[in-house]
Chain A
């Protein structure tokens, strides 16, 4: 692992790669170390391994005070997201353009051609400290999304 890091730094020193490319390579190296059993990234960061989605919904069932609480707890490995994004890179350009048009028609302005593994690493890095809480008081639904 150390020899790989040294090799990247040597390549940077020789000008074979730019500082951005070296940064990505080091980040990828850290991710590989994490998937091989470790949890620490290049800067000693703890990399999240799972995406957790918690949903709590309370449904009224007619009578006063007669409510059923439904809880859903989903744990998705972030490795699955990475694999999905890599697979998405195989989507032909024409097909991805169709997807973009369909997304735009639904009000989602997003270019799936920009969905690349290196961008996903940045996203996951940001998700590490992010928790999304949705509390819909009218329908009594609580959604919580976070990485762990």
Chain B
């Protein structure tokens, strides 16, 4: 399953806010670009003799594996945390 949400937390001494970013909207927005790129990708696969279905599957697996990634950065009293769900 490709990641659908990103959890963003920003903490400063004055305020703290947490934002759930809907990544599924990003995928929907990227869909037209994906469709435009599809014929070029198919040509590239034919030139380099790559199975396009295998390539697509591996790309999907790579996207799906992003879930669980966490990045936390703290400097002085500012804290930023991003988690891909």
Contacts and interface: CB of A to CB of B under 8 A. Distances in A.
Interface of A: 49-50, 68-77, 79-80, 82-84, 86-87, 90, 92
Nearest to A56: B74
9 contacts: A70-B74, A72-B73, A74-B70, A74-B72, A76-B69, A77-B65, A83-B58, A86-B61, A87-B59
A80 B75 contact: no
Interface of B: 48, 50, 54-55, 58-59, 61-62, 64-76
Contacts of B70: 73-75
B62 A87 contact: yes
B54 A90 contact: yes
A82 B66 CA distance: 11
Contacts of A75: 68-71
A74 B71 contact: yes
A90 B50 contact: yes
A66 to B, nearest CB: 11
Contacts of B69: 74-77, 80
B58 A87 contact: yes
Given A73-B70, A83-B58, A92-B48, A68 B75 contact: yes
A49 B73 CA distance: 21
Contacts of A70: 73-75
Contacts of B64: 83
A86 B58 CA distance: 7
B61 A83 contact: yes
Nearest to B50: A90
Contacts of A82: 65
B45 to A, nearest CB: 9
A142 to B, nearest CB: 14
B70 to A, nearest CB: 4
B73 A84 contact: no
